[in-house]
Structure 1
């Protein structure tokens, strides 16, 4: 069984985000092995664009040849939960790659990271904190797994 990877920038500082990520991580892991790679924020002294670039280099350095990079970006394609589930199911069944979701830091993703991604998805049209994006992504991965396995968590 293929695993799902997530490459994310920044530690979760608030306890409620840490608890929510742990909660959904446990739930997703019931269905699929899940690896979350947490990268350090760029140095505070850097300008915003330089921060995104610095973090982008770190992200690109963590991608493996098996990864199918998927960036989470408000400019990406928005999917319904059922569409997302079908897409994730297709990616997981692909023997040549594994889905690798990427969430940038406070200043988003660099153009280099966006350019390396096979797909760009939006969690919604509004900008949200990278901490909240991590929680929403994991909840949607759990929802997708529940849909794919016929679990009654999702209601249309």
Structure 2
């Protein structure tokens, strides 16, 4: 199952971009044997500012029949094992593409939240978008290691 992180904005160069690449590369390498991957990032630059324009760009970039999980402050928080279980269940159901979406500074428009299978939150704190992307990439990698039985995750 292909896994995408679709995010508004570009990280450019810097430690956050390096960490995202590191975790996505690790998740891709470790996930091959599990039927997970590639794990990739797609950065979107909308032509106009605002949530509506961002939503239009996000929806246009979604692969057909992809399962959409929207990262949103109103979403549910999941422990790492539960997060891994969600990914495993989708893979086992035969889903071909899983897309996590991270919106811009003002969050996601309702037109992106509505078709999402689930809303995922990183807790009640507000996080910079660059760090949210790093945290999501790390959790995808952690999920892959949990599913593979690696000792990376400790309860």
User: Given the two structures, how large is their TM-score scaled by the length of structure 1?
Assistant: 0.89
Structure 1 runs of 4+ aligned residues shifted over 3 Å read none
Name the residue aligned to 2:41: 36
The one-character-per-residue Cα deviations of 1:105-141 (angstroms, maximum 9, x if unpaired) are 1111001101111110111121211111110001000
CA distance in 1, matches of 2:62, 2:17: 24
Per-residue deviation, 1:53: 1.0
Q: Which residue of 2 aligns with 1:73?
A: 72
2:107 aligned counterpart, secondary structure: coil
Which has the larger displacement, 34-43 or 76-85? 34-43
Answer yes or no: is the 8 Å Cα contact 2:51–2:107 preserved in 1: yes
Aligned to 2:11, the other structure's residue is in SS state coil
Paired residue secondary structure (1:70): strand
Segment drifting more, 111-120 vs 97-106? 97-106
Instruction: Say whether the 8 Å CA contact 1:91–1:98 is kept in structure 2.
Output: no
Find the residue that maps to 1:37 and give its secondary structure. strand
Aligned length: 149
1:97 deviates by 4.2
Residue 145 (1) aligns with residue 150 (2): no
After superposition, residues 7-86 of structure 1 pair within 5 angstroms as: 7-13=6-12, 15-30=14-29, 31=31, 32-41=37-46, 43=48, 46=49, 51-86=50-85
User: Within 1, Cα distance between the matches of 2:54 and 2:72?
Assistant: 15
Q: Secondary structure at the match of 2:40?
A: strand
The Cα of 1:52 is off from its aligned counterpart by 1.0
Residue-by-residue CA offset, 1:81-123 (whole Å, 9 max, x unaligned): 0111111111122214421100001111001101111110111
Unaligned runs of 5+ in 1: none
Structure 2: runs of 5 or more not aligned: 32-36
List per-residue Cα deviations over 1:14-72 (Å, max 9, x = no partner): 501111111111111111211321101554xx4xxxx1111011001111222001000
Aligned to 2:125: 126
Q: What TM-score do you get using the length of structure 2 for normalisation?
A: 0.90
